């Protein structure tokens, strides 16, 4: 039996972060495998990616439910039955209730396209440019009941350019998202991560020495 950490990936759309995980898991030495992909939206591009990779894939359409809880019960059962040990939210655009979050406490991570705790929520790139900050980026964090909140595992920074547009910035941030998601999953799967309050400690973490100054 495989000793790899079993991942369940939740998506709502394009699935490029899902793809970065699929690509990572195709390396035999990667310590995790995707056992289930679930979309809450039918017919999205991410579903084609998982089908192509022969990963069990299902749609649980939230619109088929009157309330969040029954939707989440079905979600929970599908993940549990597949043997999922770590839930990866990858562009999953549905707010989860406290009940669901506590059922997967410390076993569910999310990617967000900003340097949290700045710019929680939507339209992060527009808002970062509008605010005049010199850096944006992306964050992988454990999920807590408050939206886009929780102990941070990894971040990547991306300098904002003088003439930046939200689309151009989003594209540059996305390149980094695709690096830090597999990195975070690997560190969890290797058992190197512990959580104390809002802080994550990573065994053997190497931190860069140098600062980046923008403008250079």
Rule CB under 6 A: which residues touch ligand GAR? 11, 13-17, 46, 90-91, 111-113, 148, 174, 177
Q: Which is nearer to ligand GAR, 103 or 125 (CB)?
A: 125
Which C-beta is closer to ligand GAR: that of 79 or that of 173?
A: 173
Cα separation, 157 vs 146, in Å, equals: 23
> Rounded to an integer, what distance in angstroms lies between the CA atom of residue 190 and that of residue 203?
10
Q: Which of 193, 195, 197 is nearest to 185 (CA)?
A: 193
Positions marked catalytic: 112
Residue nearest to ligand GAR (CB): 91
Nearer Cβ to ligand GAR (72/148): 148
User: Tokens 């300098």 sit at which residue?
Assistant: 159
Min CB(15)–ligand GAR separation in Å: 5
Nearest-approach distance from CB 138 to ligand GAR, in angstroms: 6
Nearer to ligand GAR, 88 or 188 (CB): 88
Taking the complex as a whole, the smallest distance from the CB of residue 146 to ligand GAR amounts, in Å, to: 12
Question: Residues of 147-173 as b/e, b for ≥16 C-beta within 10 angstroms?
Answer: ebbbbbbbbbebbbeeebeeeebbebb
* Nearest approach, Cβ of residue 215 and ligand GAR (Å): 26
Question: What are the residues whose beta carbons fall under 8 Å from the beta carbon of 15, sequence distance 6 or more?
Answer: 44, 45, 46, 47, 49, 50, 90, 91
With beta carbons less than 8 A apart as the criterion, state whether 211 and 157 touch.
no
């Amino acid at each position: 039996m495989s000793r790899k950490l079993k991942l369940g990936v939740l998506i709502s759309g394009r699935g490029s972060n899902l793809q970065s995980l699929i690509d990572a898991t195709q390396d035999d030495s990667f310590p995790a495998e995707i056992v289930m992909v679930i979309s809450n939206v039918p017919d999205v591009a991410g579903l084609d990616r998982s089908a192509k990779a022969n990963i069990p894939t299902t749609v649980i359409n939230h619109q088929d439910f009157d309330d969040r809880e029954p939707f989440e019960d079905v979600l929970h059962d599908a993940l549990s039955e597949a043997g999922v040990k770590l839930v990866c939210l990858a562009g999953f655009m549905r707010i989860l209730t406290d009940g669901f979050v506590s059922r997967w406490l410390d076993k569910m991570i999310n990617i967000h396209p900003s340097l949290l705790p700045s710019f929680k929520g939507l339209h992060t790139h527009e808002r970062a440019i509008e605010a005049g900050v010199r850096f944006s980026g992306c964050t992988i964090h454990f999920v807590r009941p408050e939206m886009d909140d929780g102990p941070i595992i990894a971040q990547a920074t991306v300098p904002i350019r003088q003439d930046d547009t939200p689309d151009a910035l989003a594209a540059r941030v996305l390149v980094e998202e695709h690096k830090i998601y597999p990195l975070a999953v690997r560190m969890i799967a290797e058992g190197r991560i512990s959580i104390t309050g809002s802080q994550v400690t990573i065994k053997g973490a190497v931190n860069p020495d140098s600062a980046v100054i923008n403008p250079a």
